[in-house]
Chain A
């Protein structure tokens, strides 16, 4: 149990489907992240939310749409994806202090393995 739970663990979808990935953290953290991990590529930061406000959108195509209804939940809505979007999608959380030094590590979920056919 990592404290960050992602569902589903595996997802296969066609290019015309609409699906959502869910992330829930039980750690009381205030920052949440979506990363994309493709084979033989660096870890790619997609979105960051801090206190439910999006603070980072790393030039992600609009077919990926994040939602953060509260500090514990993060969604990634998917529509009209491409085969190159197949990857492991990782959610993470961290505690960003209101003041002082921020040296807390990220806590990751086990990811959703997405296959786009």
Chain B
């Protein structure tokens, strides 16, 4: 079985400050990890993924995520937050060689204050 935990329902950060949205996972074997963003009244949009290789993955809109195998984490980061980054963020995991259907976390609401 595979699972994803996003321990924070909401993250608040001031504009210009760095942001981190946390994600930990559990999977048998090697993980494929994904981050998605959802703006109000829209579907989820793919941000970035980790498959293999470099532990630091860069994605859309200046976001990056760091894969940490020992801590089974894949935290989403951005050096300088924008008000327009305010949205719902979802982490997802799929096992390499396992089901192609990903398991999503519950989502974290990011609020960036001006």
Chain B contributes a number of interface residues (CB within 8 A of A) equal to: 22
A64, B45: Cα distance in complex, Å: 25
Of chain B, the residue at the smallest CB distance from A33 is B101
List the A side residues contacting B45 at CB < 8 Å. Answer: 2, 108
One of B41, B97, B104, B105 near A101 (C-beta < 8 A):
B97
Tell me if A7 is interfacial: C-beta within 8 Å of chain B: no
Which residues on A sit within 8 Å (CB–CB) of B49? Answer: 103, 105
CB distance from A110 to the nearest CB of B (A): 5
Chain B neighbourhood of A6, CB < 8 A: 43
Q: How many A-B residue pairs have CB under 8 A?
A: 54
Set of chain B residues within 8 Å of A111, measured between Cβ atoms: 41-43
Residue B83 at the chain A interface, CB threshold 8 Å: no
Q: Answer whether residue A42 sits at the interface, using C-beta atoms and an 8 A cutoff.
A: yes
The yes or no answer to A12 lying at the interface (CB within 8 A) is: no
Tell which of A96, A101, A110 touches B43, judged by Cβ atoms closer than 8 Å.
A110
Interface pair B46/A107, CB less than 8 Å apart: yes
Give the contacting residue for B100; candidates A31, A90, A92, A108; CB below 8 A.
A31
Chain B residues whose CB sits within 8 angstroms of the CB of A92 once the complex forms: 43-44
Contacts of B90 in A (CB 8 A): 43
Question: Does A66 interact with chain B (Cβ within 8 Å)?
Answer: no
Interface residues of A, count at CB 8 A: 26
B106 within 8 A of A: yes
Chain B, residues 76-114, CB within 8 Å of chain A (1/0): the string is 000000000000001000101100111011110000000
Known: A42-B104, A43-B107, A48-B101. A110 touches B42 (CB 8 A): yes
Contact with B along A51-80 (1 / 0, CB 8 A): 000001000000000000000000000000
**Given the complex of chains A and B, what is the CA–CA distance between A4 and B94 in angstroms?**
22
- B34 at interface by CB-CB < 8 Å: yes
**Does B14 interact with chain A (Cβ within 8 Å)?**
no
Residue A106, interface by CB 8 Å: yes
Given that A31-B100, A110-B43 are known contacts, is A103 also in contact with B51, CB under 8 Å in the complex?
yes
User: Cβ of B46 and Cβ of A105 under 8 Å apart?
Assistant: yes
Which residues on B are within 8 Å of A, measured CB to CB? 32, 34, 36, 41-46, 49, 51, 90, 94, 96-97, 100-102, 104-107
